[in-house]
Structure 1
Amino acid sequence: MFDFSFQLTGEYVAFFILAVCIIAGAVLMISFNKVIHMVVSLAFAFIGLAGMYVLLNAEFLAFVQVLIYAGAISILMIFGIMMTKHDQVDEDVRRPWHEGIVAVGCLALFGILFYAIRSTTFPTANWTPPKDNTLEIGKLLYTEHVIPFELMSVLLTVAFIGAIVLAKREAD
């Protein structure tokens, strides 16, 4: 039913190493108690995702992933943590059955996704990637998608101004 034959290449090895990095970063992010450790593990997952983009020949997206998410968003989260007050309220409510239900749910989700991916026949396309990904993304961004691009810049500017207003109000 399933054909598991494949040739072990460097691309497969890199894929599995990056997949382990992404999964480990995500699991550690939700497992840690200190927020700084959470941000570092999330940045680790972001860098693994950038490596996946490199494997998909999307170098521009990999660069943006490292620059924006692993760099700027992580630093922004660290500054947000440093500027806010954190009271050490330790709520240690243990539910012994909670972890078991989560494990069963994760295994069920993995099984469903594994079955769906293996039983789906993906169509083959006669598409050839462009020689310069960055040029094609720039053309699309400034022609077809210029309005959402500008709306996103306005939204980010409003969020930045709101963060400054909130920080200034706390200081007073």
Structure 2
Amino acid sequence: MNSEFIAFFILSVMAIGGAVFMINFTRVIHMALALAFTFLSIAGIYLQLHAEFLAVIQILIYTGAISILMLFGIMLTKNHEELKSSIAPWHAVLSFVGVAAFFGVLMWIIYQTPVISEPSDGEGWTILQLGERVFTEYVIPFELASILLLVALVGAVVLAKKEEK
């Protein structure tokens, strides 16, 4: 057991813990913060895999932009907290059985899929080539995605303004 394994174990437990907290929290703000915590943990795993570019993108786009956009949308819309009805015991058991069955099928598929990888020649995409490709060939889809996010943000503002009246 080396330090790399210990770091991976800690980061993976943090990512899974953040996801579990996100599911179990009742306040939406706490859910968004738990999701940001999960995103940061995943960025740490990317760093451990020597994918520094993906780690920085994970922090910038998901942890920064998406989490802030979610918090902004939550703050703009009025969140009426409703009382949760008590969950029936049979519902919890049925949910557990469904999740266990899904997990079993997923693990069976993973173990049945052959993992064949060919040795890499060391030449692949560099960040410079990726940036040139995104901003030359794929500049229109890139800009359309940013416009879509902007329209979603404006839509949230319009919906929040309509609720005040």
Task: Provide TM-score, normalisation by structure 2.
Answer: 0.82
* Contact map agreement 1:26 1:41 (CA 8 A) in 2: yes
Aligned to 1:40: 33
Aligned residues: 165
Aligned to 1:52: 45
One-letter code of the match for 1:42?
L
Question: Which protein has greater RCO, CA pairs closer than 8 Å, 6+ apart?
Answer: 2
The answer on 1:16 being equivalent to 2:9 is yes
The alignment partner of 2:26 has SS state of coil
- Cα RMSD of the aligned pairs, angstroms, is 2.5
CA distance in structure 1 between the aligned counterparts of 2:144 and 2:101, rounded to whole angstroms = 39
Task: Provide TM-score, normalisation by structure 1.
Answer: 0.79
The answer on 1:111 being equivalent to 2:111 is no
Identity of aligned residues (%): 49
CA distance in structure 1 between the aligned counterparts of 2:76 and 2:141, rounded to whole angstroms = 31
Q: Give the ranges of 4+ consecutive aligned residues of structure 1 lying more than 6 Å apart after TM superposition.
A: none
Q: CA 1:151–1:43 in 2, change beyond 3 Å: closer, same or farther?
A: same
The answer on 1:156 being equivalent to 2:138 is no
Matches within 5 A, 1:17-96: 17-96=10-89
Offset from partner CA, 1:106-160 (integer Å, 9 cap, x none): 2222223323323332112232455884323212312443332122122123223
The answer on 1:124 being equivalent to 2:147 is no
Q: CA 1:168–1:89 in 2, change beyond 3 Å: closer, same or farther?
A: closer
* Contact map agreement 1:29 1:38 (CA 8 A) in 2: yes
Q: Which runs of 5+ in 1 are unaligned?
A: 1-7
* Contact map agreement 1:130 1:136 (CA 8 A) in 2: no
Q: CA 1:69–1:132 in 2, change beyond 3 Å: closer, same or farther?
A: same
CA distance in structure 2 between the aligned counterparts of 1:11 and 1:136, rounded to whole angstroms = 30
Offset from partner CA, 1:28-77 (integer Å, 9 cap, x none): 11101111211111111111111222233221221121122212222222
The alignment partner of 2:82 has SS state of coil
One-letter code of the match for 1:140?
R
One-letter code of the match for 1:87?
H
